[in-house]
Amino acid sequence: MSLLSGKRVVELGDMAERPLGQFFASLGAAVQSMAADAAELDAAVAAADFLLDPWGLEILSDRGVSRSWIEARNPALVHVSVSPFGSGNARSRWLGAELVAAAMGGALRLTGEPDRAPVKEALEACTFHAEMAAAAGAMAAHYARGAHGQGQHVDVSIQEVAFSRNVNGALVWNFDRRKLHRVGGALNYGRATVRCIWPLADGWCFHTLMTGRFGAPANQGLSDWMDEAGLDNPLRGVDWLRYNRSTLEPATRAIWEKAIAAFFKTRTRADIRGEGRRRGINACVIESPVDVLGDPHLVAREFWAERGGIREPSRFARLVRGAPSAAPAADAAGSAQKPASTPSRGGPLAGVRILDFSWALVGSITTKILGDLGADVIKVETRTRPCLSRLDVQVSVSRADDFDDKPWFAHLNTSKRSLAIDLKRPESREVINPLLGWADAVMENFSPGTMDKLGLGYAQLSARHPAIVMASGSVYGQTGPLAAEWGVDGTGGALSGRTWMTGWADRDPLVPGAVPYGDVIVPYVLAACIAAALAQRRERGEGCHIDASMYEICVQQMRRAIVSAQQGTPPQRLGNADPDVLHQDVYPARGEDRWVAISVFDAAQRARLAEMAGGRSLADWTRDQEECALVDRLQAAGIAAGVLQDIEDLMEHDAPLRARGALVELPHPKLGPFGHVRTPITFSRDRQTPYRAPALGEHNAEILCGAAGLDERRYTELDAAGVLK
Question: Which domains are present in the chain?
Answer: 8-164 (3.40.50.10540), 318-341+348-486+515-556+688-720 (3.40.50.10540), 583-656 (no CATH)
Average pLDDT per consecutive 10 residues, the chain (725 residues; last block may be shorter): 95 95 97 92 96 97 95 98 97 96 96 96 97 98 97 98 94 92 87 92 96 89 97 96 89 97 98 96 96 96 95 96 59 41 82 94 96 98 89 86 92 96 95 97 94 94 95 97 90 96 96 88 98 95 96 97 92 94 97 97 97 96 97 98 98 96 95 95 96 97 96 96 95
- Give the pLDDT confidence score for residue 342 in this predicted structure: 61
Whole-Å CA distances, 268 to 173, 284, 339, 600? 40, 11, 59, 41
Of 658, 724, 721, 669, which is closest to residue 691 (Cα–Cα)?
669
Radius of gyration of the chain (CA): 25
- Give the pLDDT confidence score for residue 378 in this predicted structure: 98
- Which helix or strand (DSSP H or E) is residue 278 part of? helix 277-279
Instruction: Give CA–CA dist 692/412, Å, rounded.
Output: 10
In contact, 489 and 518? CB cutoff 8 Å: yes
Q: What is the pLDDT of residues 593-616, one digit of tens each?
A: 999 999 999 999 999 999 999 999
Whole-Å CA distances, 553 to 81, 93, 376, 558, 725? 22, 31, 27, 9, 35
Q: Work out whether the CA dihedral 626, 628, 633, 638 comes out positive or negative.
A: positive
Whole-Å CA distances, 461 to 436, 467, 542? 8, 9, 14
Instruction: Give CA–CA dist 183/508, Å, rounded.
Output: 13
Whole-Å CA distances, 469 to 136, 160, 371, 530, 532? 16, 30, 16, 7, 10
Instruction: Give CA–CA dist 385/127, Å, rounded.
Output: 35
Q: How many other C-beta atoms can be found within 10 angstroms of the C-beta atom of residue 603?
A: 9
In contact, 484 and 448? CB cutoff 8 Å: yes
Q: Is 75 exposed, middle or buried (0-12, 13-18, 19+ CB in 10 A)?
A: exposed
Whole-Å CA distances, 677 to 38, 148, 518? 37, 29, 18
What is the per-residue DSSP string for 34-58?
E-S-HHHHHHHHHH-SEEEESS-HH
- Give the pLDDT confidence score for residue 325 in this predicted structure: 57
> What is the residue type of 457?
G
Q: What angle do CA 353, 359, 363 make, to 5 degrees?
A: 55
